[in-house]
Chains A and B, each alone.
Chain A
Amino acid sequence: MTTLHVIAHSPFGDQRLASCLRLLGADDGLLLCGDATYALKAGSEPLQMLQAANLGPRLFALAEDLQARALDGTQVIAVDYPAFVELSLHYDKVNSWL
């Protein structure tokens, strides 16, 4: 059973990202959207946490949110909405960190 975790809150305001990374299963995916994409800010602590988790091809971000915040998307797989839909079907469940 695999889960796509979706986070939409800034990693600088709460512990969602840290908690999620602690719970993430070996085959689970993580999609950052909205303010959660600030986790990719260069030189930041959240980015270090993401790099340490070494998610590789299981780390995604909504392309429009990267673009809106001028964030570097080279360390993630940027997805548009049709790809978000496909991702939600690729994993068995979708868990949004509300």
Chain B
Amino acid sequence: MKFAIAVFSPAHAPSSRRALRFAEAVLASGHDIARLFFYQDGVHSASANIVAPQDELDVAAQWRTFITEHSLDAVVCIAAALRRGVLDDTEANRYQRPAVNLPAPWELSGLGQLHEAAQLADRLVCFGGD
């Protein structure tokens, strides 16, 4: 079965870690992930500038590793990301901002990608909250 997973919370929220553990279990159970979509405060889960305290899990880094290892389609909502200062190279240049914090494997795109993922997948599962 194909899953679309949407994450609405930043890397320091329990629900971002929960989404990651769910996504790992999806693949471990032999299912596929059609797309991961990071929306609203979930765009912070994609930021490369996060420095996790030494005694805490670095969930943003774990997302990056997971996505890279499994070559997953990981889309960050562009409107949500811009307003929160999560920028890739193109957007940092376009708006003349001093820093880039969204390198590969993440991709900035529109909300239509979430809609498409929901159509492509057998299940859409959203994660937010505490």
Contact = CB atoms under 8 A, between A and B. Distances in A.
A85 B29 contact: yes
Contacts of A35: 14, 129-130
B125 A9 contact: no
B123 A8 contact: no
A7 interface: yes
B61 to A, nearest CB: 20
Contact of B128 (A8, A62, A82): A8
Interface string B58-98: 00000000000000000000000000000000000000000
Given A82-B28, A85-B31, A94-B125, A10 B22 contact: no
Given A34-B14, A85-B29, A8 B129 contact: yes
Interface string A27-42: 0000001111000000
- Which residue of B25, B26, B129 has the most chain A CB atoms within 10 A of its CB atom? B129
Interface in A11-54: 33-36
B116 interface: no
Interface string A67-89: 00000000000000110111011
B123 A9 contact: no
Contacts of A10: 130
B117 interface: no
A8 B125 contact: no
B26 A85 contact: yes
A6 B124 CA distance: 12
Interface string B103-127: 0000000000000000000111111
21 contacts: A8-B128, A8-B130, A9-B130, A34-B18, A35-B14, A36-B129, A82-B25, A84-B22, A84-B25, A85-B22, A85-B25, A88-B123, A88-B125, A89-B123, A94-B123, A96-B128, A97-B129, A98-B8, A98-B126, A98-B128, A98-B129
Interface of B: 1, 3, 8, 14-15, 18, 21-22, 24-26, 28-29, 31, 122-130
Interface of A: 6-10, 33-36, 62, 81-82, 84-86, 88-89, 93-94, 96-98
